[in-house]
Each structure stands twice: as C-alpha cells, then as structure tokens.
Chains A and B, each alone.
Chain A
C-alpha cells in the first residue's frame, strides 16, 4: 500500500511538472502583456516589461521560474507587486474550500438520503419523483441555478443576501447552486447501486438471520453500494475545492475560481502559474485520497495490494 502511495505521489509530481511547463509556454503565447491596459502607452509597457525581466529569452525565464518554484517561491503578482502569489492563494483558498466542503457535505448527505429512499421506497411516485428531480437538477448548469436562485431569493423575495460572504447566511445560495449537480449524481448512483445490492443473496441471508432492514442497509448494503459513489465524489470534490468561477462570479465570492479567471484576463503570468500548480496539486491529492479510500473499502483491491507486497 505504501509503495503504491509513493508511486502515485511520484507520478503526481511528474504530472505537475508537465502541467507547469505546458502552462508556462501557453500563457506566453497568448497575445498581451501584464502591463498593457487600454490607456497605457507602448513605450511605457516595454520599459516596465524590461524591469520585470519579461524581455529575456523564454527558456531563461522558464528555468529561473522552475528554480524558484522548487524553492517554494511562487513570486509576486504582476498586477499587485505588493502581494505574493502564495498570499493570494492562502487568502482565496479557504473561502473556496469552505463553500466547496459545505456543498460537498450537503450533496453527500442529501444524495445518500434520497438515494436510499429511492432504493427502498415501495411507493412508485416517490421513486419517480426522486428520479425526475435528479434529472432536472443534473440538467441545470450551475450558472443557471445560481442566477435563478439569486433572482428568486435575493432580488424578488429579498430573503437571502445576493453578494459576498460576510456571514453564514451568505453561504446558503452559492452552496445550494454548487450542490445541485453532485447531489443529483449521488442520488442516482446510490439509488441504482443500492437497489442492485438489495437483490443480492447476502441481503437475503442477513434478513433470514433476522437483522433489521435499517441495519442491513446501513452496515452491509450501503458499504458495498458506495464504491462507485466514491469514485464519483473524488473528481466532484476536486472540482468543488478548486472553485467554480461562474458561481463565485455571480455571488461575488473572492475565491480561487475568480482569481484564476482574473489572472488570465490580466495576463498575470506568475499568478496564473501559481494557481495552476496549486489547483493541480489539489486535484492530484484528492484523487489519491479517493483511490486509497476505495482500496480500503473494497476487499478485492485490498487483497490485490497485499499480494503485491508479498
């Protein structure tokens, strides 16, 4: 297991290196300069670029950047020389993560609950209602959901705030918008796989042994049914943790997604690269954790690791 983890970490670092390299050269290919604005004269832009070493050969810039990254220095933001890129990440990520984790928790609780209900309910209309609701929720893109929620609950009803993250109440709308799709996915997966599990012999056996229905579902069937769900939660949490630009933009939340798009618009090279590295690392780590969790849950994989070690 340990060897596997090491192997995964090493490939992760290699992927990060490729990601940084590709991003570094790609952002330099986009026309534009971090210092070019509508009214700034070309001579002034050139002089400032020289000052920041942007006129040196690309390879030289690339090597010196890599050297800095290895030392843990992501550099300063060109748009705001008083701020380190790492400070911007340290400021924006907790905000994105707090919304992302809340949305993930809501999705898992809601999705599992509704999924179980769908699998065990004897009433057809409940099952169909959940299916239809799930389909609808999965079909509405998060930006449409966000605008709809904003218009109804903030602008028309004035129940909830429309912008910012000044208090916990401010979390309700963005979290709801973000949780739409993952909840629907989890509901569907749990509903289907649990439905399948419940048909299996071991469930029949457990019942024959006299175990309660709740216990069978929660301790036996659900555990087996959750494997595919975990595989889906992995990428979903990675995307929630790296921030949704659209939802952050609509609700004016100063998170990573908003910083990322802003940095590209401003051609803030160091910030683009810093955020790419960070987001890449988050995705790699979250996927690694998911895989390890799956292995831990799935006796077959667990056995495979053990045999590999032996």
Chain B
C-alpha cells in the first residue's frame, strides 16, 4: 500500500514538474535582444478610440502612439507633431493648420485632414460616449451639432485639401492650441476607425497610429504591446522597439511587481513607496498638475456669507495637514495648480502673483464673530462629503479637528464611494464637498473656467458677474502679459476675496523607474510620463 502511494505521489510530482516547466510561455516583456520596457498601469478601462469613452487605457496608449497637431515642450515652446505650421487671424477665431506631408499611418498610408475630421465628427455624435466632446464646443456650431440642433455640414471645420484643416471658432479663444492635445482633436484613420463599437481600436490590424509606436497585441485585462512604427516621420529619434503596458488593480501590486522585477516602470504609487525608496535611483518623483480643494455650497447658510468662507479658509493649517496626509502632498493657496507653468514667462503661474491669502487663526475667529458666531456659538453643523480614498479620509479628519479647535465649529464627515461622491457633487447636494482637478490642458483657463456661473463644473452655486467678465475678457486678450494679468485678477477675486473654495494641497506622483531607462519626459499639461523617446541600456 505504502509503496503504491509513494509511486502515485512520485508520478504526480513528475507530471506537475513536466507540465510546469514545459508550458512556461514567454513573458510579454521578454524580447530577443530587442529594446523593450514594461510599464505598469491602472486597470483596463475605456476604449482606445479618441472619439469614444476614454479613460486611463487611452491616455497611456495615446502618449506613445498618437501624434496630435502640435504640443508644448517643458519650456513652453511649440513642438510640431502632425502639423508643421499654423496661422491664426487677429481675433483668434480662425485657426489654420498645415499638416506634415511626410506623416504616415503605421500601415504606410498618408495622414490627412480627413482623419482629423473623422474623430471630430464621430465624437460629436453622443452615441460615441465621448466625455471630451465639450472641448469641441469652442468650434462654430459644434454644440448645436452635438445636441442634434444643427447639421454636421454647418460645423465650423473645413478641410480645403488633404493637408490643411481650418477651425472657425464661435468666440475668440487664445488657448485653442492647448486644446489640441485632447483626444477629440487627435486623428483616427478614416479607413478603419468607423464607429466606437466595431472594436477597430483593439485590433492590431485596424488600430493604426500616426505616432512613434503602434499596437502590436492587445490582451484584454492583461496587457497590450506597442511596437515601433517604422513609418513614423521621426522614427530615427525613437530608440525602443517595444513598450508593453500591463494592467494592475492596485498600487500595492504595482509596487510589488516592480520590486519583483516584472515591470520597469510603476507610476502613481502611494507615499509609503517614497519613504521606502528614499535615496535610491529607482525613485522618480514628479509634480502633478492638480489641485485638491473643497467646494463650499453657497446656497447653504452660513456659507453664503463671505466672512464665514474666509474664516474657514484662514483657520485651516495646511502645513500640518500635509505632514499628516503624506509626503506626496504640498500646501497650496490657489485654485490653479501649483506646478502649472505660464508658457510666456516659463515660471509657475501661481508664483507670479502674491499668495491669495494667509492663514491666521485669530483673524478667522474675529471674522466668525462678526458673522454672528462668536466662538462658533450658534454655528450649524456642516457635513463634508468626500470619497473613501485613504488620502481624502485623512484630510477630512484633520480638517474636522482643526476647525473644531480653531473655530469651535462641528463638521460631520460623510465618506462616499467615488462615483457616489461625483453624483453628490454634480447634484449640488452638499455643504462641503471634496474636489480634485487635474489639468486637461496647460492653461490656467482649465481651472478658472470651472467657477464661471454657466460652467457645469461649478457645483456650488457661484454666480459672480464680475468674475465672469474678467475671465471672458482674458479669452479674447491676445497680449500674453495682459491676459496673464487678467487671469491673476480673476483668481485673486475668486480665491483671495470671495473665498469660493478651500484650496488644500498639490500632489506629487511617486513613480518607480528602472535606472537603466533614460529619456523619459513629463508632459507639461498633465504631469504624466511620456516614453516616446526613451531608451534602455541592455
């Protein structure tokens, strides 16, 4: 009996070993002498169609695979990509772009103005589910077309020939060039990219790219591989042969995969990683172009009183807050992201003006007393809605404690799941609500426009004609210095005089990058990493 058991066990073991060793398939990152890197990204969401409902997957893909008309480099200089020049009329309403005639899709066919039109017309069909369609609305009639009130023929985009595209805007828009990096202005090959639900975007045969890399393999929920596009007009400057993106669900798994050597790059990790890797070459900390702040609902008593709003702002100790929340946060007193640059001066926009306000507890107490609540007496309990992310939960507790101690007012905390928090915010159904805004494009307008009285992101009932008129004036001001002054004036009014929001902190991105990789750049608009011209020592 025992002998038979031993024999059976032995056979089983041998069988298993055989199966295991025989079936080990190649890791997607393993190349045969080819230069390739593997990047860990958050889980697979959204399509890869620029006209579709995009999320993280598209953002990762497009950075390496698609060329927009033009973009800005880290010094604020224009870097021409699919276009080679442009002209604009005096009042910034007609923008003409001349496409690069040597630009080819990854199958060798030419990139034409029709391919840009293809994305725009498809995105303007609500069925596409594009969340960026509203960034086309500066174009004449775009909004009417989207709402089904006008024909596509009336849209203010012209393509007089294969290599020219002309945008007619409804109103002057001096930051129009900044919008061009958004998906809805990125081309999709008109031969294959027919609809958002045909699946062309995940099929390497039909998913063509006009950038340095093109799709070679797509395995849903697991990984996708980009290979060098030999037809790319600037192919000589591209060093890597492949970039593999692997999907991960949480940052802990990403950090483990980096530690285990399974990926070369892990991005947006938690601040504990920063402490663990302090002083090593692997740690790569970048500034996020984002602001985390709190909306105060102006329709709620007593938040409609500017003195109360100022008191709350002045009573929060942001230095202390950031020390507790994590080393990847930095106090901010502005709405515009701390690390957004002013392209004309090369300096950080917020550093060009005085800090909108200074924290001062005694003044805050005085203001609250003036508003009729001496030492917080009679002040109603307010509720703070925030998503159940660790960082936001910590923030909520610190603020609750600080306001209790400094102003003797009570804040009730209500943690919500992220999606539920979005809904609460959009519905304006809150007293205080957490907000985070990552720049969509590299201009302060992406922030300041949120507080306009007709903005859909204005969830707290701000209605300030003076503010609206300053921001509107900045839109048509073509002198950069004067425009910048108007934008500063608007921010000071909203943040330092009316205290419409409670700015909290700016964040850093904690990334781990294999020290053998060189040439990774940071996109100035969003702060994300770009690998198109990266290289690796092998």
A residues contacting B by CB (< 8 A) are: 30-33, 35-45, 47-48, 50-51, 76, 78-83, 88, 91-92, 147, 150-151, 154-155, 158, 161-169, 212, 214, 248-252, 254, 258-259, 262, 265-267
> Is A42 a contact partner of B196 (Cβ separation < 8 A)?
no
Interface pick from B241-249, B321-329, B353-361: B241-249
- Given the interface pairs A79-B46, A212-B1, A258-B221, the reply to whether A249 lies near B249 with Cβ below 8 Å is yes
- Given the interface pairs A32-B419, A254-B221, A265-B418, the reply to whether A166 lies near B28 with Cβ below 8 Å is yes
The 8 closest A-B pairs by CB, nearest first: A254-B221, A32-B419, A40-B131, A31-B423, A41-B456, A82-B199, A81-B197, A162-B260
> Is B131 a contact partner of A32 (Cβ separation < 8 A)?
no
B131's partner among A39, A76, A163, A167 (CB-CB below 8 A) is A39
Chain B residues numbered 1-56 whose CB sits less than 8 Å from any CB in chain A: 1, 19-20, 23-25, 27-28, 43, 45-47, 52-53, 55
> Is A161 a contact partner of B129 (Cβ separation < 8 A)?
no
Task: Provide 26 A-B residue pairs closer than 8 Å at the C-beta atoms, listed in order of the A residue.
Answer: A31-B420, A31-B423, A32-B422, A35-B131, A39-B437, A42-B456, A44-B126, A48-B127, A50-B126, A51-B127, A79-B45, A81-B52, A82-B196, A155-B260, A158-B261, A166-B27, A166-B28, A167-B27, A168-B23, A250-B252, A251-B253, A252-B247, A258-B221, A259-B221, A265-B417, A266-B419
Q: How far apart are the CA atoms of A102 and B493 in the complex, in Å?
A: 64
Which B residues touch A262, using CB under 8 A? Answer: 43, 45
Besides the known contacts A36-B423, A166-B25, 20 further A-B residue pairs in the complex with CB atoms under 8 A apart: A31-B419, A31-B420, A33-B419, A33-B423, A35-B129, A41-B131, A41-B456, A76-B197, A81-B196, A82-B198, A155-B256, A155-B259, A158-B261, A161-B260, A163-B246, A167-B25, A167-B27, A249-B249, A252-B248, A265-B417
Q: Which of A80, A166, A248 has the most CB of B within 10 A?
A: A80
- Given the interface pairs A44-B131, A79-B46, A163-B253, the reply to whether A37 lies near B426 with Cβ below 8 Å is no
Q: How far apart are the CA atoms of A147 and B253 in the complex, in Å?
A: 9
Closest to B12 in A: A109
B260's partner among A31, A43, A48, A158 (CB-CB below 8 A) is A158
Q: How far apart are the CA atoms of A44 and B126 in the complex, in Å?
A: 8
> Is B45 a contact partner of A266 (Cβ separation < 8 A)?
yes
Q: How far apart are the CA atoms of A82 and B48 in the complex, in Å?
A: 11
Which A residues touch B24, using CB under 8 A? Answer: 167-169
Which B residues touch A252, using CB under 8 A? Answer: 246-249, 253, 257
Q: How far apart are the CA atoms of A162 and B27 in the complex, in Å?
A: 13
How many Å from the CB of A18 to the closest CB on chain B?
Answer: 25
How many Å from the CB of B261 to the closest CB on chain A?
Answer: 7
Q: How far apart are the CA atoms of A126 and B451 in the complex, in Å?
A: 71
Which A residues touch B130, using CB under 8 A? Answer: 44
Q: How far apart are the CA atoms of A32 and B259 in the complex, in Å?
A: 36
Q: Which of B23, B246, B253 has the most CB of A within 10 A?
A: B253
> Is B19 a contact partner of A168 (Cβ separation < 8 A)?
yes
Which A residues touch B417, using CB under 8 A? Answer: 32, 265
Number of contacting residues on B, CB 8 A? Answer: 62
Closest to B263 in A: A163
Q: How far apart are the CA atoms of A186 and B46 in the complex, in Å?
A: 42
Q: How far apart are the CA atoms of A160 and B257 in the complex, in Å?
A: 11
How many Å from the CB of A265 to the closest CB on chain B?
Answer: 7
B20's partner among A30, A40, A168 (CB-CB below 8 A) is A168
Which B residues touch A81, using CB under 8 A? Answer: 47, 52-53, 129, 196-197
Against A, the Cβ 8 Å flags (1 = close, 0 = not) of B430-444 are: 000000111010000
Which B residues touch A166, using CB under 8 A? Answer: 25, 27-28
Closest to B253 in A: A252
The answer, yes or no, to whether B457 is at the interface (CB within 8 Å) is yes
Q: How far apart are the CA atoms of A114 and B292 in the complex, in Å?
A: 55
Chain B residues numbered 192-231 whose CB sits less than 8 Å from any CB in chain A: 196-199, 201-202, 220-223
Q: How far apart are the CA atoms of A267 and B424 in the complex, in Å?
A: 15
> Is B257 a contact partner of A163 (Cβ separation < 8 A)?
yes
The answer, yes or no, to whether B147 is at the interface (CB within 8 Å) is yes
B256's partner among A37, A45, A162 (CB-CB below 8 A) is A162
- Given the interface pairs A161-B260, A249-B249, the reply to whether A51 lies near B126 with Cβ below 8 Å is yes
> Is A47 a contact partner of B253 (Cβ separation < 8 A)?
no
Which A residues touch B147, using CB under 8 A? Answer: 47
> Is A37 a contact partner of B55 (Cβ separation < 8 A)?
yes
Q: How far apart are the CA atoms of A292 and B201 in the complex, in Å?
A: 47
Q: How far apart are the CA atoms of A92 and B221 in the complex, in Å?
A: 9
Which B residues touch A31, using CB under 8 A? Answer: 419-420, 423-424
How many Å from the CB of B254 to the closest CB on chain A?
Answer: 8
> Is A37 a contact partner of B131 (Cβ separation < 8 A)?
yes
